[in-house]
Copies of this chain bind each other. A is one copy, B any other.
Amino acid sequence: MKETMEQWFAELEKSEAEAVKMTEKQSKILQAAIEVFAEKGFAAASTNEIAQRAGVAEGTIFRHYKTKKDLLLSIVAPVMTKLIAPFVLRDFNKVLDVDYDRYELFLRAVIANRIEFLRNHMNVFKILIQEIPFHPELQEQFRKNILSKVLERMNLIVDKFKSRGQLMEIPNLTVIRLTMSAIIGYVITRAYNENREDAGWDDEFEREETISFIIRGLSIK
């Protein structure tokens, strides 16, 4: 069994993408809505502007999506699922098989994969982050489908590296929180510096420093 984790990710991504069937107009509407929602926020976005950018009549939007909110959910929900793709591989054993020897390698793989993901879905991710506080359904979905599953899987992974003597004996939730804080902080700073030419951001370097920082902070000396 020579499959790598990356291949698993790719397969998952693909199979989800293929599941979608929509007309050209519908896809244009989605694309336009993503743009406008990301630019102005859901509440300040007008269906009129979305229709114009999509090059369709305003009525056409409501043929495909009952309400404006429906349109939001249609955008955000599938990305929420994809967001945790790496953590919900179906075959449990395989995950462990296709595993990494060290926490460091695992982190590096996850970061690379999720950055690739965000590059493709940055706008939807922005919308998700922006709107979660105002839509209980999104919160519910997030908690049930995302957070719990990620935590569940990460629990196993942390347990494994603990048992191999690579991670300190502090509560799993704390390990996960500290790991994720560092990674998310890296990703956000990275995104913030992406469009600024004068930033002097050395991505390769910062990523490695972040990983090293996590390892130093969590390893048994």
Partner of A181, one of B43, B130, B182, B218: B182
Q: How far is the CB of A122 from chain B (nearest CB, A)?
A: 12
**Distance in angstroms between the alpha carbons of A130 and B132 in the assembled complex:** 11
Nearest B residue (CB) for A199? B173
A214 neighbours in B (Cβ, 8 Å)? 217
Partner of A185, one of B134, B177, B189, B206: B177
Report the copy number of this chain in the oligomer: 4
A22 within 8 A of B: no
Contact flag A206-B174 (CB < 8 Å), given A181-B181, A216-B217 = yes
A44 within 8 A of B: yes
A182 neighbours in B (Cβ, 8 Å)? 178, 181-182, 185
A186 neighbours in B (Cβ, 8 Å)? 177, 181
A40 within 8 A of B: yes
Which residues of A from 202 to 221 have beta carbons under 8 Å from B? Answer: 206, 209-210, 213-214, 216-218, 221
Nearest B residue (CB) for A185? B181
A interface residues (Cβ-Cβ under 8 A, vs B): 40-44, 126, 130, 133-134, 170, 174, 177-178, 180-182, 184-186, 189, 206, 209-210, 213-214, 216-218, 221
